Amino acid sequence: MSELMKNPRVMRKVQAELRDKLAGKPRVTEDDLSDLKDPNYWDDAEVFRLERFANSTIDFKGMDMEFIPFGAGRRMCSGLAFAEAIIDLLFSTLLFHFDWELPCGMTASELDMIEEMALTVRRKNDLHLRPILRVPQTQTSSALLFCERAQTSSVFLF
């Protein structure tokens, strides 16, 4: 907002674009902004399709501006290397050893995806899952111990 106030030309441009697009509407809703990932850069921009990154040369470390999960520039995430290592290890461990079920016969289409805006965007409601052990461990890891303990109480809070 500070930058927009300092640059009235940009402020006017953004406002004109919004007012043109939302002409006649009483307020802005999330649906009105659904094309903010830009379909010029992403096929099916609104679809969760992890494969899109499999053979991609797009850099997520702040070099390619269409994809900056850790931000970019001087104030970008200083935990990037740590997060990258931990998330790969954690998710690979969870997905390798366990299948995952929604509780009480709930289907994927019934799963609520409501988000809550805070310092970061997160799920509004906890994700309750049931882990089913498929590949038992041969060595103890803390992630597995956690899941195995959760498995005994049948519901896993994520």
Q: Nearest approach, Cβ of 117 to ligand HEM (angstroms)?
A: 14
Find the residue with minimal CB distance to ligand HEM. Answer: 79
**91 or 96, CB closer to ligand HEM?**
91
- For residue 4, the SS3 value is helix
**59 or 99, CB closer to ligand HEM?**
59
Q: What's the Rg (C-alpha) of the chain?
A: 21
Q: Nearest approach, Cβ of 114 to ligand HEM (angstroms)?
A: 20
**6 or 75, CB closer to ligand HEM?**
75
CB-CB contact of 125 with 158 (8 Å):
no
CB-CB contact of 80 with 70 (8 Å):
yes
Pairing type for strands 98-101 and 115-117 reads unpaired
Q: Binding site annotation covers 147? A: no
DSSP 47: S
Angle at 135 between CA 134 and CA 139, to 5 degrees: 145
Q: Nearest approach, Cβ of 90 to ligand HEM (angstroms)?
A: 10
Q: Nearest approach, Cβ of 121 to ligand HEM (angstroms)?
A: 10
- The site for ligand HEM (CB under 6 A) is made up of 69-72, 75-79, 82-83, 87
**61 or 130, CB closer to ligand HEM?**
61
Q: How far is CA 101 from CA 14, 106, 145, 155, in A?
A: 44, 9, 18, 10
Binding positions are: 77
Binding positions for heme are: 77
